[in-house]
Structure 1
Amino acid sequence: MTPLPTRRFAAFLFDMDGTILSSIASAERSWTIWAERQGLDVPSFLPTIHGVRTVETIRRLALPGIDPEAEAAWVTAAEMADVDDIEPIPGAPAFLAALPAHAWAVVTSAPRALAERRLQAAGLPLPPLMIAAEDVTAGKPAPDCFLLAAERLGVAAADCMVFEDAPAGIAAAEAAGAAVIVITATHHRTLATAHPTIASYDALSITTDRDGLALARPSPPQ
């Protein structure tokens, strides 16, 4: 188990899907319908959708005769209508509630409207700052989203801890120079990573003071 960093951080930056809430079933239902319409092999396609912007997922397929922006809008509308089984990652509500409002943000590849819908469906608060798909030109794995979040919080990206679950987001955080902790709650197989990992926020405790935010693993009961 990779140890947690012992230093303090100016801010925490959270990916959303798979990191503070689980929307995998909802997303995969919508994407399955779309993929079947396009004649794609669904089992091989679905693992490619996570952690990146919808329009970029579609664009990189280079399918003939389609408008990626229009198709992305269709997928987003389908996802907006399907939120019944979205739920928070265990421990996330209490963990987020313990953070100072000036020191955290959600940084997601989802469009803002979909992100807000999913947060509400999961019973999570809207963050004091959100960087969404439409806020950057280049999505994850480019670092732009995390750099923008740090800038708007008034801190350096190198002084931020990023909470991520997907390879594209981890790569984006690394490129931004931030520290990373990987949330494995929705992983079906082990992700090879040199970063610390946790299965839920119940596995973390947090301290805050004027020097910043620090993480620890709770001591096991005696």
Structure 2
Amino acid sequence: MLPVAEVDWDQYDAALFDLDGVVTPTAEVHMRAWAAMFNDFLAGVQGQPPYTDQDYYDYVDGKPRYDGVRTFLLARGITLPEGDPSDPPEAETVAGLGNRKNEYFNRVLTEQGVQAYPGSVRLLDVLRERGLPMAIVSSSRNAPAVLDAAGVTDYFGTVMHGGVAAERRLAGKPAPDTFLAAAADLGATAERAVVLEDAISGVQAGAAGDFALVVGVDRGAGPAALTEAGADVVVADLAELLPDDQEEVVE
């Protein structure tokens, strides 16, 4: 694994950030929304144990919403109709459950708001000062609302979220397609771009795309799991990636 001190931002033409858990702590909001939705659903399915945080990391984290529903149900041996994205949240379909989860998420975001991680903002400030193009690559269709709520939209030259990926028919993480497309939108190639991800599926996407550097941000998945998934560097906070002349104490 590459030592953090050796990360030289001058070697790269673009930085591609996941949003939830990397720039903002909304991964926790997503976790609570998924848990509430799945446990409500499982209460009506005989013989099913409750949904756990480990289920989130194993089956849901970093994936497009309906893929997360589909993967979890498959792991539990539960079969539901696929449904349609227009399904109401009450529908007992893959799409309906995904839409139900989104209602939980939007409720929490509206009521509690969100602030970006201070260490992440420090790195964003430094990279913007250096003129490095940056993108958000998020599976969540809520990414624009989260960026706006956190006040960090202006850092990013492009926002590749789940809705854009669907419109462009790009496969979601762990496929590298959304990262590759975002890099191209910024005029960069994978060989000169950095991926920053906290989810196993996102790290796998960065590794699959042969990006120059894949940074794993440990917000709960664990350094070993992120490294096994393909991370070249694992940090607990993006402030650890500040250049030597910009380092500050992380509180």
State the TM-score, normalized to the length of structure 1. 0.82
Aligned residue in 1 for 2:159 = 130
Higher helix share: 2
Whether the aligned pair in 2 keeps the contact of 1:105 and 1:128 (CA below 8 Å) is yes
Deviations 1:57-97 (CA, angstroms, capped at 9, x unpaired): 11222432443223222212321221216332231122213
The one of 204, 209, 214 equivalent to 1:180 is 214
TM-fit CA distance, 1:31: 1.2
**Structure 2, unaligned stretches of length 5 or more?**
43-47, 82-91
Deviations 1:114-143 (A, max 9, x none): 112222333423422100112233100001
Partner SS, residue 21 of structure 1: coil
Are residue 45 (structure 1) and residue 40 (structure 2) matched? no
Cα distance between partner residues in 1 of 2:235 and 2:210: 21
User: How do 1:26-175 residues align onto structure 2 when only pairs under 5 Å count?
Assistant: 26-39=29-42, 41-43=50-52, 44-47=54-57, 48-60=59-71, 61-62=73-74, 63-65=79-81, 66-83=92-109, 84=112, 86-100=114-128, 103-111=133-141, 114-126=142-154, 127-136=156-165, 137-175=170-208
Give the total of aligned pairs.
Answer: 209
Larger RCO (CA under 8 A, 6+ residues apart): 1
Q: Give yes or no for contact 1:25–1:85 (8 Å, CA) kept in 2.
A: no
Q: Would the aligned equivalents of 1:204 and 1:216 in 2 still touch at CA under 8 Å?
A: no
- Aligned-residue identity in percent: 25
Look up the equivalent residue of 2:93 and give its one-letter code. D
Amino acid at match of 2:147: L
Q: Over the residues paired in the alignment, what is the CA RMSD in angstroms?
A: 2.6
- What SS does the corresponding residue of 2:135 show, helix, strand or coil? strand
Gaps of 5+ in 1: 207-214
Counterpart residue type for residue 135 of structure 2 = A
Letter in 2 for 1:38: F
SS in 1 for 2:153: coil
Residue type of the alignment partner of 1:55:
Y
Structure-2 separation of matches of 1:67 and 1:98: 45
Q: Distance in 2 between matches of 1:167 and 1:115?
A: 19
Instruction: Provide the TM-score with structure 2 as the length reference.
Output: 0.73
SS of the equivalent of 1:110 reads coil
In the TM superposition, residue 218 of structure 1 has moved relative to its aligned partner by: 4.1
Looking at structure 2, the residues matched to 199 and 128 of structure 1 have their Cα atoms a distance apart, in angstroms, of 25
